[in-house]
Structure 1
Amino acid sequence: MITVLYFAGLKEKTGIEKEEFVFSGKTVKQLLEELQRKYEGLADGIIQVAINEEYASIDDIIQERDIIALIPPVSGG
């Protein structure tokens, strides 16, 4: 099992704060593709991904018990 955490606007788009499911051994890119199919509008904009509190690349492999944070673009001034 992995845990996926949704922050800010992504939490609003999915309607949930977090979810758990089986997804180990696949890449971050594959996870994003699956979640974009599951949640309409999730593909809008760039999403930063962190695995266990460290930023990840789309080619990183997700392992059992990883905690994945999906972070939407942040604007500031």
Structure 2
Amino acid sequence: MKIQVLFFGITTDFVGSSALELNIADVATVADFKNSLKEKYQQLEKLNSYAIAVNESYATDDLLLKENDVVAIIPPVSGG
């Protein structure tokens, strides 16, 4: 199935784009998606953690993704 993936902050540098359309397994959780994303974009392993939002709501690893979902990869934010 196809999903839209949005990247923010440093993750755009790691993947070379701020948005991609990806094909994933027909049955996939957020955890499955994260694992496949790290395999494809190994630089994401440099982040200790990042949040995932699906359709503008923060998502847990057990959430089942659906066709045409919009998944955002949100790295930690620092500032001062």
Structure 1 and Structure 2 fold alike (TM over 0.5) = yes
Q: Which has the higher helix share?
A: 2
RMSD: 1.1
The answer to whether structure 1 residue 32 and structure 2 residue 54 are counterparts is no
**TM-score when normalising by structure 1:** 0.91
Shift of 1:76: 2.9
Shift of 1:41: 1.5
Most deviating of 23-32 and 44-53: 23-32
Q: What residue number does 1:8 align with?
A: 9
Unpaired runs of 5+ residues, structure 2, are: none
Amino acid at match of 1:9: I
Please list the CA deviations of residues 1-49 of structure 1 after superposition, one character each: whole Å capped at 9, or x if unmatched.
2100010100011111111122243000111110101112202220100
How many residues are aligned here?
77
**TM-score when normalising by structure 2:** 0.88
Unpaired runs of 5+ residues, structure 1, are: none
